[in-house]
Structure 1
Amino acid sequence: MLYRVRVGCPWRDLPQAFGPWTTIYQRFRAWAASGKWRRIFHACIVDPDLEWAFMDGSYAKAHQHSAGASGGQPQAIGASRAGRTTKIHLAVDAYGLPITFEITGGQINDCSIGPSLVDAIPRVDIMIADKGYDSRRVRAAIQTRSSRPVIPRRRHSKRANPDFDSGLYRYRHLVENAFARLKQYRAIACRFDKLKTHYEAVVAMACALLWLPM
């Protein structure tokens, strides 16, 4: 499974040394449906630095092989002028290591997912995000947990922003670096999976690997 996540090959093209590809795929599908890979990812999170946390979203192009899911199951693939895309909404700790994520269609904006992303992580002292998260709902979700939002205002906003700290905001590259590391896995950089649960499992595998000492 990890080999396929790394190289992004079709399941049927797995090396024969791994055994029948159908057996591997069926096991992957069962584990994805049960949420096992996400639980493994959460089990790998040990002593995160939650003084600061960062959140952001990043697009992944949906390959033509990801089309045609049957049974009406959720896909989390959006269509726009840029084509078919999926969006990974990620939160990382002060070390830049992933602590939670959500998968949506590419057309979903950041501020609509921000509150649920905030609720999914332990309390942090400071939550840092870009202006895509500049909404009352996101700020309220952060402040409700006694955390401080460091989020720039949108260009034409006239509201005050007393919590903004430009020095802390410079460290937002940590979440961008996390996306760069995740997209070294080809099955994440380009989505081949038809179902949302399958792509979530792929992202969870890679997030777990980032926590393992290498």
Structure 2
Amino acid sequence: MPRLMLTDEHWSKLRTILLEDRVYDKPEHRQTMEGILYRMRVGCPWQDLPDTFGLWNTIFRRFLLWTRKGILQRLFKKLISEPDFEWIFIDGSIVKAHQHSAGASSKYDEAIGKSKGGNTSKIHLAVDSYGLPIEFTITGGQPHDSKAAKPLIDMLPYANYIIADKGYDSEAIREQVRGRNSIPNIPRKSNSKVGNDDIDWCLYKYRHLVENTFEKLKKYRAIATRYDKLKANYESMVALACIMCWLPM
């Protein structure tokens, strides 16, 4: 029997939200969710899912359906309970794209970048003052963090401070943050002529919270390495990993 990830309490939370989202209450949904979680944890091909969870094709088709309808994304958002938006930390992390993730028959950008290091994607993540995920975007691995910051910041709720590392050293980003009536706490690079007199270094030390969250997400092998051909499918996997961060709360 494979190790399961959902306790009765956790499933009760998910089941309630699924019912609110008009997902028909089928008895096999819990095992289907466990099958999707198993694949996220071990990173195996869908065809190699243990029979304990049911037919692999049934689980895969259910995952595709929930992805197309945005159900896993909404699950993530609805599980966000009593977040602390006094501080918001943002950062990006590279993910190696497995060779099986390439070659999708799609006319859309599937967020896989090509470079000397091979195929990569990047997760751009925002966490609250507790270090819990609140928003994320997926891009190819080649864009610089500062280039991908604008859409992520636009998605964020109001916060007193938005904290990021030197990779986000851009006056355009600072102006965007100030335009939201928030205070940017972003160090300038060593060659800057302005200096860092305005930086709250004590607050900046808490930036490890977003790094810790990346560690929690990447303990799942299907997050640490991208196996999904479609961007939407990988986004659903990342949303599911974020769900697992919020379920115990």
- Per the shorter chain, which TM-score range? over 0.9
Query: Residue 219 of structure 2: SS of its match in structure 1?
Result: coil
Alignment of 1:107-126 (within 5 A): 107-126=142-161
Give the equivalent residue in structure 2 for 1:167: 202
CA–CA distance in 1 between the matches of 2:55 and 2:172? Answer: 49
1:4 pairs, out of 39, 48, 55, with: 39
Give the equivalent residue in structure 1 for 2:114: 79
> Rg: which structure is higher?
2
**CA deviation after TM superposition for structure 1 residue 210, in Å:** 0.1
Give the equivalent residue in structure 2 for 1:70: 105
Query: Residue 53 of structure 1: SS of its match in structure 2?
Result: strand
Give the equivalent residue in structure 2 for 1:184: 219
CA–CA distance in 2 between the matches of 1:129 and 1:19? Answer: 44
**CA deviation after TM superposition for structure 1 residue 16, in Å:** 0.8
CA–CA distance in 2 between the matches of 1:34 and 1:101? Answer: 18
**CA deviation after TM superposition for structure 1 residue 61, in Å:** 0.4
Counterpart AA for 2:159: V
**CA deviation after TM superposition for structure 1 residue 159, in Å:** 2.3
Alignment of 1:46-61 (within 5 A): 46-61=81-96
CA–CA distance in 1 between the matches of 2:106 and 2:181? Answer: 43
1:150 pairs, out of 185, 188, 192, with: 185
Q: Which runs of 5+ in 1 are unaligned?
A: none
CA–CA distance in 2 between the matches of 1:82 and 1:173? Answer: 26
Give the equivalent residue in structure 2 for 1:99: 134
Size of the aligned set, in residue pairs, is: 214
Query: Residue 90 of structure 2: SS of its match in structure 1?
Result: strand
User: Does the CA contact (< 8 Å) of 1:4 and 1:11 recur in 2?
Assistant: yes
Is 1:22–2:22 an aligned residue pair?
A: no
Give the equivalent residue in structure 2 for 1:36: 71
CA–CA distance in 2 between the matches of 1:191 and 1:117? Answer: 21
CA–CA distance in 2 between the matches of 1:101 and 1:196? Answer: 13
CA–CA distance in 1 between the matches of 2:240 and 2:115? Answer: 28
Is 1:137–2:175 an aligned residue pair?
A: no
Counterpart AA for 1:81: K
CA–CA distance in 2 between the matches of 1:163 and 1:24? Answer: 52
CA–CA distance in 2 between the matches of 1:66 and 1:195? Answer: 8
User: Does the CA contact (< 8 Å) of 1:149 and 1:163 recur in 2?
Assistant: no
**CA deviation after TM superposition for structure 1 residue 161, in Å:** 4.2
Flag the 1:145–1:162 CA change in 2: closer, same or farther, 3 A.
Answer: farther
Flag the 1:34–1:163 CA change in 2: closer, same or farther, 3 A.
Answer: farther
With a CA cutoff of 8 Å and minimum separation of 6, indicate the structure with the bigger relative contact order: 1
**CA deviation after TM superposition for structure 1 residue 153, in Å:** 0.4
Scaled by the length of structure 1, what TM-score is found?
Answer: 0.97
Scaled by the length of structure 2, what TM-score is found?
Answer: 0.83
Bigger CA drift: 78-87 or 65-74? 65-74
CA–CA distance in 2 between the matches of 1:111 and 1:213? Answer: 33
Query: Residue 167 of structure 1: SS of its match in structure 2?
Result: helix
